[in-house]
């Protein structure tokens, strides 16, 4: 893993130290569904994992230097979390999701609930460790 700076590393370590983080993300992978499409006599089945795609982002006070610093490293933190999470799956699990058409990394990057799990902890880090008061996140279905 490559960190931009100490803030990025500290935020990453803070998030993975939460004993509920990994189980809550893995729980999303237990939600499997399928959509059947029958067009022109052809029948196709598409598999899906998780809650659905979402867009999540930080809502912060741009007057706060600490908020701006955290905002500048958040994608580095998230990338490292994705690498950490992908590595927590076995090769068999990765192959299963790939065969289903839902690669692990794609689910990690797109699932709304996983984004909420990550961003809520970034906000918690901001408030508890950095002392930032005016910060939250917004999450909407895509």
pLDDT of amino acid 112: 97
Per-residue pLDDT tens digits for 16-55? 999 999 999 999 999 999 889 888 888 888 889 999 999 9
Please state the φ and ψ torsions of residue 130, each to the nearest 5 degrees. Answer: -90, -15
pLDDT of amino acid 92: 98
Query: How far apart are the C-alpha atoms of 128 and 126, rounded to whole Å?
Result: 6
* Residues 6 or more apart in contact with residue 133 via CB below 8 angstroms: 127
Q: Is the pTM of this model over 0.95?
A: no
* Residues 6 or more apart in contact with residue 140 via CB below 8 angstroms: 54, 55, 56
Burial code (b: 16+ CB inside 10 Å, e: under 16) for 127-141 equals: eeebebeebebeeee
Cα distances (angstroms) measured from residue 59 to each of 92, 107, 113: 38, 23, 17
- 37-46, 60-69, 92-101, 103-112: lowest mean pLDDT where? 37-46
């Amino acid at each position: 893993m490559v960190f931009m700076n100490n803030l990025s590393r500290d935020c990453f370590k803070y998030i993975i130290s939460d004993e509920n983080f990994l189980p809550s993300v893995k729980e999303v992978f237990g939600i499997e569904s399928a959509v059947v499409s029958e067009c022109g006599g052809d029948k196709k089945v598409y598999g899906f994992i998780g809650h659905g795609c979402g867009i999540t982002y930080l809502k912060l006070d741009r007057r706060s230097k600490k908020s701006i610093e955290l905002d500048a490293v958040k994608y580095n933190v998230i990338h490292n979390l994705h690498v950490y999470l992908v590595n927590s799956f076995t090769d068999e699990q990765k192959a299963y999701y790939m065969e289903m058409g839902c690669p692990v990394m794609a689910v990690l990057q797109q699932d709304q609930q996983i984004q909420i799990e990550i961003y809520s902890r970034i906000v918690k880090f901001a408030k508890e460790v950095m002392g930032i008061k005016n910060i939250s996140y917004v999450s909407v279905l895509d």
